[in-house]
Amino acid sequence: MKKIMILTVFLSLLGVPTTLAMAETPPPTNASCDITLSFGSYAMGIDHEVKAKITAYVEKSKDITGHRLTPWGREGEKNLCLSVKPETFEKVYKDLKAMIPEKSAKAWTEIRAKGKPNFRTQWPKK
């Protein structure tokens, strides 16, 4: 254990990130969110194009009754919590999921919703 602590301190002094795993895992979804979108990073920042598309949709949608953006990482990672009218939940979920790329070398984006499987961008395999 002492060796791990010394190594961690040494790497920190060199500027090597020792909390990389933290940047990969968004904080838990707030129970009040009908849909949560997480904008994550592969150590290069979030995918700003995907975030801009989703933000534009959220701002003009009459089906979304509230939203809250919560930063959680050191490279711009954030969660977007949405409250959605129950009668349009399926449509909003489907629309938002369609905006998330299946694969990306830029960054990952994830959608989580009550009663739905999580969907997350994957790193492209070579």
We report the CATH number of the domain holding residue 78 as 3.30.70
Residue 126 included in any domain: no
For residue 26, the enclosing domain spans 21-120
Residue 95 included in any domain: yes
Q: How many domains does the chain have?
A: 1
CA 24, CA 22: separation in Å to the nearest integer? 5
Residue 11 included in any domain: no
Residue 10 included in any domain: no
Residue 9 included in any domain: no
For 77-122, write each residue's pLDDT tens digit.
999 999 999 999 999 999 999 999 999 999 999 999 989 999 999 9
pTM comes to 0.76
For 32-53, write each residue's pLDDT tens digit.
899 999 999 999 999 999 999 9
- The distance in angstroms from the start CA to the end CA of the chain is 37
Residue 16 included in any domain: no
